[in-house]
Amino acid sequence: MLTIYGNVFYKGRIVECGIEVENGVIVDIGKDKKGKKVDGIIMPAGIDVHVHFRDFKESYKETVESGSLSALYGGVCLVVDQPNTNPPIVDEDIYFRRMEIAKRMSYVDYSLNLGLVEDNVDEIDEILRKIEEKHYIPAIGEVFLRGKMSVRYETLEKAKKTVNKLITVHAEDPNEDDDVNAEVKAVERCLSIGKFHFCHISTAKALDMIYNTDSTSEVTPHHLIYSKEVVKLKVNPSLKSNEDRVALVRNFHKADILASDHAPHTLEEKWEGAPGFPGVETLYPMFFYMAKRGYIKISDLVEKFVINPAKIFGFDRYGGIEVGNYANFAVFDPHSEKPIRARDLHSKVGWTIYEGLMAVFPKEVYMRGEKVLEDGEILIDRGFGKVL
Protein backbone atom coordinates (compact mmCIF):
# COMPACT_ATOMS: atom_id res chain seq x y z
CA MET A 1 0.00 0.00 0.00
CA LEU A 2 1.32 3.44 -1.03
CA THR A 3 -0.09 6.75 0.19
CA ILE A 4 0.70 10.00 -1.60
CA TYR A 5 -0.20 13.20 0.26
CA GLY A 6 -0.39 16.78 -0.97
CA ASN A 7 -2.47 19.33 -2.84
CA VAL A 8 -4.64 17.25 -5.15
CA PHE A 9 -7.02 18.26 -7.94
CA TYR A 10 -10.03 16.27 -6.75
CA LYS A 11 -13.68 16.62 -7.76
CA GLY A 12 -13.21 19.94 -9.51
CA ARG A 13 -10.98 21.73 -7.01
CA ILE A 14 -7.58 21.57 -5.32
CA VAL A 15 -7.73 20.06 -1.83
CA GLU A 16 -5.09 18.84 0.61
CA CYS A 17 -5.56 15.10 1.02
CA GLY A 18 -3.97 11.69 0.70
CA ILE A 19 -4.34 9.11 -2.06
CA GLU A 20 -4.02 5.44 -1.14
CA VAL A 21 -2.75 3.22 -3.95
CA GLU A 22 -2.73 -0.56 -4.15
CA ASN A 23 -1.60 -2.59 -7.18
CA GLY A 24 -1.49 0.59 -9.25
CA VAL A 25 -5.12 1.55 -8.52
CA ILE A 26 -6.51 4.29 -6.26
CA VAL A 27 -8.34 2.58 -3.38
CA ASP A 28 -9.12 5.55 -1.12
CA ILE A 29 -8.87 9.34 -0.98
CA GLY A 30 -9.23 11.44 2.16
CA LYS A 31 -7.85 14.24 4.31
CA ASP A 32 -6.99 11.72 7.01
CA LYS A 33 -4.82 9.63 4.67
CA LYS A 34 -1.28 10.64 5.58
CA GLY A 35 1.72 9.45 3.62
CA LYS A 36 4.57 10.56 1.42
CA LYS A 37 4.36 14.35 1.04
CA VAL A 38 4.48 15.55 -2.54
CA ASP A 39 5.24 19.23 -3.19
CA GLY A 40 3.30 20.95 -5.95
CA ILE A 41 -0.16 20.30 -7.35
CA ILE A 42 -1.03 16.65 -7.99
CA MET A 43 -3.04 16.59 -11.23
CA PRO A 44 -4.40 13.58 -13.10
CA ALA A 45 -2.02 12.61 -15.90
CA GLY A 46 -3.16 13.60 -19.39
CA ILE A 47 -4.68 11.50 -22.17
CA ASP A 48 -3.79 12.64 -25.69
CA VAL A 49 -6.24 11.02 -28.10
CA HIS A 50 -4.60 12.30 -31.28
CA VAL A 51 -0.91 11.64 -31.94
CA HIS A 52 1.07 10.54 -34.98
CA PHE A 53 4.13 8.61 -33.79
CA ARG A 54 5.21 7.78 -37.37
CA ASP A 55 7.76 4.92 -37.05
CA PHE A 56 7.95 2.24 -39.79
CA LYS A 57 9.35 3.92 -42.93
CA GLU A 58 9.13 7.35 -41.25
CA SER A 59 11.13 6.43 -38.16
CA TYR A 60 13.71 9.08 -39.08
CA LYS A 61 11.30 11.77 -37.81
CA GLU A 62 9.51 10.02 -34.93
CA THR A 63 9.08 6.57 -33.40
CA VAL A 64 6.83 5.06 -30.76
CA GLU A 65 9.86 5.25 -28.47
CA SER A 66 10.67 8.93 -29.01
CA GLY A 67 7.04 10.02 -29.24
CA SER A 68 6.04 8.25 -26.02
CA LEU A 69 9.10 9.66 -24.23
CA SER A 70 8.00 13.13 -25.32
CA ALA A 71 4.49 12.37 -24.05
CA LEU A 72 5.82 11.31 -20.65
CA TYR A 73 7.81 14.51 -20.22
CA GLY A 74 4.58 16.37 -20.99
CA GLY A 75 2.62 14.64 -18.21
CA VAL A 76 0.70 12.30 -20.53
CA CYS A 77 0.05 8.70 -19.41
CA LEU A 78 -1.94 7.37 -22.41
CA VAL A 79 -1.97 8.15 -26.13
CA VAL A 80 -4.12 7.22 -29.11
CA ASP A 81 -1.90 6.77 -32.15
CA GLN A 82 -3.32 7.31 -35.65
CA PRO A 83 -3.15 4.80 -38.52
CA ASN A 84 -1.96 6.99 -41.43
CA THR A 85 1.56 5.60 -41.10
CA ASN A 86 3.78 4.32 -43.89
CA PRO A 87 2.64 1.60 -44.45
CA PRO A 88 -0.88 2.47 -43.21
CA ILE A 89 -2.57 0.45 -40.47
CA VAL A 90 -5.57 -0.90 -42.36
CA ASP A 91 -5.52 -4.64 -41.58
CA GLU A 92 -4.84 -6.94 -38.64
CA ASP A 93 -1.29 -7.91 -39.68
CA ILE A 94 0.09 -4.38 -39.70
CA TYR A 95 -1.92 -3.56 -36.55
CA PHE A 96 -0.32 -6.46 -34.65
CA ARG A 97 3.11 -5.47 -35.96
CA ARG A 98 2.63 -1.95 -34.64
CA MET A 99 1.51 -3.16 -31.23
CA GLU A 100 4.58 -5.42 -30.92
CA ILE A 101 6.75 -2.34 -31.43
CA ALA A 102 4.76 -0.48 -28.76
CA LYS A 103 5.14 -3.37 -26.29
CA ARG A 104 8.91 -3.08 -26.54
CA MET A 105 9.30 0.65 -26.93
CA SER A 106 6.50 2.73 -25.38
CA TYR A 107 7.18 4.64 -22.17
CA VAL A 108 3.48 5.44 -21.68
CA ASP A 109 0.32 3.41 -22.13
CA TYR A 110 -0.45 3.04 -25.81
CA SER A 111 -3.54 2.52 -27.93
CA LEU A 112 -4.02 2.54 -31.67
CA ASN A 113 -6.85 3.38 -34.04
CA LEU A 114 -7.64 1.29 -37.12
CA GLY A 115 -7.64 3.01 -40.50
CA LEU A 116 -10.62 3.04 -42.86
CA VAL A 117 -9.98 3.18 -46.61
CA GLU A 118 -11.95 2.31 -49.72
CA ASP A 119 -10.15 -1.02 -50.01
CA ASN A 120 -10.96 -2.37 -46.54
CA VAL A 121 -14.51 -1.18 -45.89
CA ASP A 122 -16.05 -4.51 -46.92
CA GLU A 123 -13.80 -6.41 -44.49
CA ILE A 124 -13.66 -3.84 -41.69
CA ASP A 125 -15.95 -5.80 -39.38
CA GLU A 126 -13.87 -8.97 -39.72
CA ILE A 127 -10.61 -7.04 -39.26
CA LEU A 128 -12.01 -5.52 -36.08
CA ARG A 129 -13.05 -8.93 -34.78
CA LYS A 130 -9.57 -10.39 -35.25
CA ILE A 131 -7.80 -7.44 -33.64
CA GLU A 132 -10.16 -7.23 -30.69
CA GLU A 133 -9.31 -10.79 -29.70
CA LYS A 134 -6.00 -9.30 -28.50
CA HIS A 135 -6.35 -5.53 -28.21
CA TYR A 136 -8.76 -2.73 -27.40
CA ILE A 137 -9.34 -0.49 -30.43
CA PRO A 138 -10.34 3.04 -29.34
CA ALA A 139 -11.86 4.01 -32.69
CA ILE A 140 -11.85 3.71 -36.44
CA GLY A 141 -10.10 6.78 -37.75
CA GLU A 142 -9.10 9.43 -38.17
CA VAL A 143 -11.08 8.94 -41.38
CA PHE A 144 -9.97 11.32 -44.13
CA LEU A 145 -12.46 12.77 -46.60
CA ARG A 146 -9.82 14.27 -48.89
CA GLY A 147 -6.16 13.67 -49.64
CA LYS A 148 -4.27 10.45 -48.93
CA MET A 149 -6.27 7.55 -47.47
CA SER A 150 -9.50 9.44 -48.20
CA VAL A 151 -12.91 7.81 -48.45
CA ARG A 152 -16.20 8.91 -49.97
CA TYR A 153 -19.12 9.94 -47.80
CA GLU A 154 -20.92 6.83 -49.09
CA THR A 155 -18.07 4.65 -47.79
CA LEU A 156 -18.19 6.38 -44.43
CA GLU A 157 -21.92 5.76 -44.26
CA LYS A 158 -21.42 2.10 -45.14
CA ALA A 159 -18.84 1.70 -42.36
CA LYS A 160 -21.15 3.44 -39.93
CA LYS A 161 -23.85 0.86 -40.62
CA THR A 162 -21.43 -2.06 -40.50
CA VAL A 163 -19.55 -1.58 -37.21
CA ASN A 164 -20.56 -0.65 -33.69
CA LYS A 165 -17.45 1.40 -33.01
CA LEU A 166 -16.59 5.05 -32.50
CA ILE A 167 -15.51 6.63 -35.81
CA THR A 168 -13.32 9.73 -35.79
CA VAL A 169 -13.39 12.04 -38.79
CA HIS A 170 -11.00 14.57 -40.28
CA ALA A 171 -13.74 16.84 -41.57
CA GLU A 172 -12.74 18.62 -44.77
CA ASP A 173 -15.01 18.38 -47.80
CA PRO A 174 -13.12 17.23 -50.91
CA ASN A 175 -15.16 19.44 -53.27
CA GLU A 176 -14.74 22.73 -51.41
CA ASP A 177 -11.71 24.96 -51.96
CA ASP A 178 -12.38 27.42 -49.13
CA ASP A 179 -10.95 25.87 -45.95
CA VAL A 180 -13.60 27.29 -43.62
CA ASN A 181 -16.46 26.11 -45.82
CA ALA A 182 -14.74 22.76 -46.34
CA GLU A 183 -14.86 22.03 -42.61
CA VAL A 184 -18.41 23.27 -42.14
CA LYS A 185 -19.75 21.33 -45.14
CA ALA A 186 -18.00 18.13 -44.11
CA VAL A 187 -19.34 18.37 -40.56
CA GLU A 188 -22.83 19.07 -41.85
CA ARG A 189 -22.74 16.08 -44.20
CA CYS A 190 -21.34 13.74 -41.56
CA LEU A 191 -23.94 14.81 -39.01
CA SER A 192 -26.62 13.84 -41.51
CA ILE A 193 -25.12 10.33 -41.55
CA GLY A 194 -24.88 9.79 -37.80
CA LYS A 195 -22.81 10.19 -34.65
CA PHE A 196 -19.05 10.77 -35.00
CA HIS A 197 -16.10 12.19 -33.13
CA PHE A 198 -14.68 15.12 -35.08
CA CYS A 199 -10.92 15.60 -34.90
CA HIS A 200 -9.13 18.98 -34.59
CA ILE A 201 -12.06 21.30 -35.33
CA SER A 202 -10.74 24.72 -36.38
CA THR A 203 -13.85 26.90 -36.82
CA ALA A 204 -16.40 28.12 -34.30
CA LYS A 205 -19.28 27.46 -36.72
CA ALA A 206 -18.42 23.76 -37.06
CA LEU A 207 -17.86 23.49 -33.29
CA ASP A 208 -21.28 24.99 -32.66
CA MET A 209 -22.94 22.58 -35.11
CA ILE A 210 -21.42 19.59 -33.31
CA TYR A 211 -22.22 20.99 -29.86
CA ASN A 212 -25.95 20.71 -30.48
CA THR A 213 -25.79 16.99 -31.37
CA ASP A 214 -24.73 13.71 -29.75
CA SER A 215 -21.45 13.80 -31.72
CA THR A 216 -18.24 14.98 -30.04
CA SER A 217 -15.34 17.23 -31.00
CA GLU A 218 -11.74 18.03 -30.24
CA VAL A 219 -9.67 21.18 -30.66
CA THR A 220 -5.90 21.68 -30.77
CA PRO A 221 -3.51 24.21 -29.22
CA HIS A 222 -2.28 25.44 -32.60
CA HIS A 223 -5.75 26.38 -33.85
CA LEU A 224 -6.47 28.17 -30.57
CA ILE A 225 -3.16 30.02 -30.34
CA TYR A 226 -2.09 30.83 -33.90
CA SER A 227 -3.71 32.38 -36.96
CA LYS A 228 -2.67 32.17 -40.60
CA GLU A 229 -1.56 35.80 -40.46
CA VAL A 230 1.06 34.90 -37.84
CA VAL A 231 2.20 31.40 -38.85
CA LYS A 232 2.58 30.53 -42.53
CA LEU A 233 3.51 26.86 -42.09
CA LYS A 234 1.09 24.24 -43.35
CA VAL A 235 -1.20 22.13 -41.19
CA ASN A 236 -4.40 20.20 -41.95
CA PRO A 237 -6.92 21.56 -41.22
CA SER A 238 -5.28 24.90 -41.94
CA LEU A 239 -4.79 27.74 -39.50
CA LYS A 240 -7.63 30.20 -39.96
CA SER A 241 -7.87 33.99 -39.84
CA ASN A 242 -7.37 35.72 -36.52
CA GLU A 243 -11.08 36.53 -36.47
CA ASP A 244 -11.86 32.82 -36.81
CA ARG A 245 -9.26 31.96 -34.18
CA VAL A 246 -10.73 34.37 -31.65
CA ALA A 247 -14.20 32.95 -32.30
CA LEU A 248 -12.85 29.43 -31.70
CA VAL A 249 -11.27 30.53 -28.40
CA ARG A 250 -14.55 32.11 -27.28
CA ASN A 251 -16.30 28.80 -28.01
CA PHE A 252 -13.64 26.66 -26.32
CA HIS A 253 -16.21 25.51 -23.75
CA LYS A 254 -18.15 23.73 -26.51
CA ALA A 255 -15.27 21.39 -27.36
CA ASP A 256 -15.30 18.00 -25.67
CA ILE A 257 -11.58 17.21 -25.97
CA LEU A 258 -8.26 19.03 -26.18
CA ALA A 259 -5.69 17.05 -28.20
CA SER A 260 -2.28 17.84 -29.62
CA ASP A 261 -2.53 16.33 -33.11
CA HIS A 262 1.19 15.68 -32.62
CA ALA A 263 2.35 15.42 -36.24
CA PRO A 264 6.16 15.66 -36.47
CA HIS A 265 8.11 16.36 -39.66
CA THR A 266 11.71 17.34 -40.18
CA LEU A 267 12.37 21.04 -40.74
CA GLU A 268 13.34 20.27 -44.33
CA GLU A 269 9.96 18.62 -44.90
CA LYS A 270 8.19 21.58 -43.29
CA TRP A 271 9.81 24.04 -45.67
CA GLU A 272 8.67 21.77 -48.51
CA GLY A 273 5.07 21.97 -47.25
CA ALA A 274 4.53 18.87 -45.10
CA PRO A 275 1.46 19.49 -42.89
CA GLY A 276 1.53 19.26 -39.10
CA PHE A 277 3.29 20.28 -35.87
CA PRO A 278 4.75 18.29 -32.97
CA GLY A 279 2.98 19.03 -29.68
CA VAL A 280 2.39 16.06 -27.34
CA GLU A 281 5.03 17.27 -24.88
CA THR A 282 3.92 20.90 -24.71
CA LEU A 283 0.10 20.71 -24.53
CA TYR A 284 -0.42 20.03 -20.82
CA PRO A 285 2.41 22.35 -19.69
CA MET A 286 1.12 25.24 -21.83
CA PHE A 287 -2.47 24.88 -20.72
CA PHE A 288 -1.54 24.40 -17.06
CA TYR A 289 0.29 27.72 -17.35
CA MET A 290 -2.82 29.27 -18.91
CA ALA A 291 -4.94 27.91 -16.06
CA LYS A 292 -2.47 29.33 -13.53
CA ARG A 293 -2.76 32.72 -15.22
CA GLY A 294 -6.55 32.53 -15.23
CA TYR A 295 -6.94 32.37 -19.01
CA ILE A 296 -8.83 29.08 -18.69
CA LYS A 297 -10.38 27.16 -15.80
CA ILE A 298 -8.27 24.33 -14.47
CA SER A 299 -11.45 22.24 -14.26
CA ASP A 300 -12.01 22.76 -18.02
CA LEU A 301 -8.46 21.59 -18.72
CA VAL A 302 -8.96 18.40 -16.71
CA GLU A 303 -12.33 17.77 -18.28
CA LYS A 304 -11.04 18.14 -21.85
CA PHE A 305 -7.62 16.51 -21.47
CA VAL A 306 -8.35 13.77 -18.94
CA ILE A 307 -11.99 13.00 -18.12
CA ASN A 308 -13.70 13.32 -21.51
CA PRO A 309 -10.96 11.46 -23.44
CA ALA A 310 -11.37 8.48 -21.09
CA LYS A 311 -15.16 8.63 -21.28
CA ILE A 312 -15.55 9.15 -25.04
CA PHE A 313 -12.90 6.60 -26.06
CA GLY A 314 -13.92 4.03 -23.45
CA PHE A 315 -10.70 3.84 -21.43
CA ASP A 316 -11.61 1.92 -18.30
CA ARG A 317 -9.80 2.98 -15.09
CA TYR A 318 -8.35 6.09 -16.77
CA GLY A 319 -9.51 9.65 -16.16
CA GLY A 320 -9.66 11.85 -13.10
CA ILE A 321 -8.25 11.16 -9.65
CA GLU A 322 -11.02 8.88 -8.40
CA VAL A 323 -11.24 5.64 -6.42
CA GLY A 324 -11.01 2.73 -8.86
CA ASN A 325 -8.92 4.58 -11.44
CA TYR A 326 -5.23 4.02 -12.10
CA ALA A 327 -2.90 6.15 -9.97
CA ASN A 328 -1.69 8.24 -12.92
CA PHE A 329 -0.54 11.70 -11.81
CA ALA A 330 1.37 14.68 -13.15
CA VAL A 331 2.76 16.91 -10.42
CA PHE A 332 3.18 20.59 -11.32
CA ASP A 333 5.05 23.27 -9.38
CA PRO A 334 3.15 26.41 -10.41
CA HIS A 335 6.19 28.55 -9.58
CA SER A 336 8.47 26.77 -12.10
CA GLU A 337 7.19 28.40 -15.27
CA LYS A 338 9.66 28.76 -18.12
CA PRO A 339 9.69 29.42 -21.87
CA ILE A 340 9.39 26.43 -24.19
CA ARG A 341 12.68 25.66 -25.96
CA ALA A 342 13.04 23.02 -28.66
CA ARG A 343 16.42 22.02 -27.25
CA ASP A 344 14.67 20.86 -24.05
CA LEU A 345 12.06 18.68 -25.79
CA HIS A 346 12.24 15.00 -26.73
CA SER A 347 10.62 14.59 -30.14
CA LYS A 348 13.12 13.48 -32.77
CA VAL A 349 12.39 16.45 -35.05
CA GLY A 350 14.01 18.95 -32.69
CA TRP A 351 11.75 21.96 -33.29
CA THR A 352 8.46 23.34 -32.00
CA ILE A 353 5.92 25.86 -33.22
CA TYR A 354 5.52 26.94 -29.57
CA GLU A 355 9.12 28.14 -29.15
CA GLY A 356 9.25 30.87 -26.50
CA LEU A 357 5.72 30.46 -25.15
CA MET A 358 5.45 30.04 -21.40
CA ALA A 359 4.70 26.68 -19.79
CA VAL A 360 4.89 24.72 -16.54
CA PHE A 361 6.34 21.26 -17.13
CA PRO A 362 5.60 18.49 -14.61
CA LYS A 363 8.28 17.93 -11.97
CA GLU A 364 7.06 14.40 -11.28
CA VAL A 365 4.90 11.86 -13.12
CA TYR A 366 3.38 8.70 -11.66
CA MET A 367 1.92 5.81 -13.63
CA ARG A 368 -0.09 3.17 -11.78
CA GLY A 369 1.39 4.49 -8.55
CA GLU A 370 5.02 4.20 -9.64
CA LYS A 371 7.10 7.34 -9.98
CA VAL A 372 8.33 7.36 -13.57
CA LEU A 373 9.76 10.89 -13.89
CA GLU A 374 11.40 13.18 -11.34
CA ASP A 375 13.06 16.54 -11.98
CA GLY A 376 13.73 15.76 -15.63
CA GLU A 377 15.03 12.24 -15.02
CA ILE A 378 13.22 9.19 -16.42
CA LEU A 379 13.04 6.42 -13.81
CA ILE A 380 11.76 3.61 -16.05
CA ASP A 381 12.88 1.78 -19.16
CA ARG A 382 11.19 1.83 -22.54
CA GLY A 383 8.45 -0.76 -22.70
CA PHE A 384 7.07 0.26 -19.30
CA GLY A 385 3.86 1.49 -20.93
CA LYS A 386 1.04 -1.01 -21.43
CA VAL A 387 -0.54 -1.61 -24.81
CA LEU A 388 -4.30 -1.72 -24.60
Strands 167-170 and 257-258: unpaired
Phi, psi of 59 (to 5 degrees): -70, -15
Q: Which residues lie below 8 Å from residue 358, measured CB to CB, with a gap of 6+?
A: 286, 289, 337, 338, 339, 340
Active site residue 261: yes
Q: Are 209 and 189 in contact (CB under 8 A)?
A: no
Instruction: Quote the crossing angle between the two packed helices 92-105 and 64-73, to the nearest 10°.
Output: 50
Question: Which residues sit opposite 277 in a β-bridge?
Answer: 262
What strands lie across the sheet with 76-81, from one edge to the other? 46-51, 76-81, 109-112
> Is 87 strand, coil or helix?
coil
Cα 109 from Cα 220, distance rounded (Å): 21
Candidate list 93, 122, 261, 375, residue with the active-site label? 261
Question: Which residues sit opposite 19 in a β-bridge?
Answer: 4, 29
Residues 221, 380, 326, 335: what is their CA dihedral angle, to the nearest 10 degrees?
-50
Query: DSSP H helical segments within 13-152, as ranges?
Result: 64-73, 92-105, 124-131
Q: Which residues lie below 8 Å from residue 306, measured CB to CB, with a gap of 6+?
A: 44, 45, 46, 47, 319, 320
Query: DSSP H helical segments within 146-234, as ranges?
Result: 153-162, 179-193, 204-211, 221-225
Burial (CB count <10 Å: 0-12, 13-18, 19+), residue 324: exposed
Peptide bond into 237 cis (omega under 30): yes
Cα 11 from Cα 322, distance rounded (Å): 8
Chain mean position to CA 240:
21
Residue numbers annotated as active site: 261
